[in-house]
Amino acid sequence: MRSDFDPRKYAAFSRAARIPRNLKQEDVLKNLQVLTEEGMTNAGALLFSKQAPKFFLQASLTCALFQGTTKTKILDQATFQGNIAENYDDAMSYLLSHLNTEYVIKGGPREEILELPEEALREGVLNAIAHRDYRSTAYIQVHVFHDRVEIVNPGGLVSGLKLKDLGRVSRPRNLLLFSLMARMDLVEHIGSGIKRIREAVRAYGLEPPLIEADADWFSITFRRKPQHEAIEKGRPRVDLVTPSNGDQIEGVHEGVHEGVARLLEFIRTNPGRRTPQISRAMRVPVKTLERWLRRLREEGKIEFRGSPKTGGYWETKEK
């Protein structure tokens, strides 16, 4: 139904896919094969509907932080029910908020290095979204343990594909959805995602990721280094942020004033970003970021545009 279509999500897609503004929206959707005489296709619903779970309840993505190396005790959990791009942003924000960040000085401005390669995590999340079996009632799961990160999606390998083929052969399960994600530069058609994951992990000096699959599930596991091994020998260390509960210790790892000032400058130079996007870009836990945003808003320096329920973004107030 037309009432389910979200023009904001179409606008975000058209910007990412570089669709010319002078083209009619309906023509574009038909050319993309997401709009037919019968209505929106499944891929269209996953990208452009106001509430994707209305059509695909199982399209949600869950993230969880566990104490230790088992699922016995959950420290934090979140379920994301946006469209494809929003779930990706939220999952990456969650990972960046719950993994260690090393602050390093190399004779200049400090450098922030995530304990696992962000490119590999990005490809792992995108792989799960693009290749999951949307007929399954299970969710995509992103789990953070003390010693590892697991990204699991329902749906094993596509028929005819073997584990040894990964990184060399591309055979998407959801061809139309995959092509739309490719237009947004989220994925590539050449099947290089697994190869990039392996290369990024190797460049970090970490163990190769464990990739497993059966008839119903596909998983990628990244091994975390023990905290005392996270710093290479001879590299000056400033600090290691360990946001195990989603919070960053302000005033120790980064002063409140410094963080708020950095946030204001980021919003000024990057208007129109949502909170999870800012969290991911700045590598600041969402809970910490929300406190900084509230402070800037109370000071009248920024404003929130849009609806908190259906999505919105931050901008600086004009003087």
Residue 251, pLDDT score: 32
Does the domain at 247-316 match CATH 1.10.10.10? Answer given as: yes
In the chain, CATH 3.30.565.60 covers 58-229
Q: What's the rounded Cα separation, in Å, for the pair 269 and 253?
A: 24
Asked whether the beta carbons of 13 and 86 are under 8 A apart, the reply is no
CA–CA gap between residue 267 and residue 272 (Å, rounded): 8
pLDDT of amino acid 223:
94
For the full predicted model, state whether its pTM sits above 0.75: no
Looking at residue 240, its pLDDT comes to 44
pLDDT of residue 100: 84
Give CATH 1.10.10.10 domain extents, the chain: 247-316
Q: In angstroms, what CA-CA distances link 287 with 98, 118, 239, 291?
A: 11, 20, 20, 7
- Of the candidates 82, 86, 283, 96, the one whose C-alpha atom is nearest the C-alpha of residue 186 is 86
Sequence-distant (6+) residues with CB within 8 A of 209 are 120, 124, 197, 198, 201, 220, 221, 222, 223
CATH topology assigned to domain 58-229: Heat Shock Protein 90 (3.30.565)
Q: Say what the pLDDT of residue 147 is.
A: 93
Residue of 198, 128, 137 lying closest to 156 (CA atoms): 128
Residue closest to 62 by CA, chosen among 76, 50, 48:
76
Q: Which residues of the chain have pLDDT under 50?
A: 228, 230-255
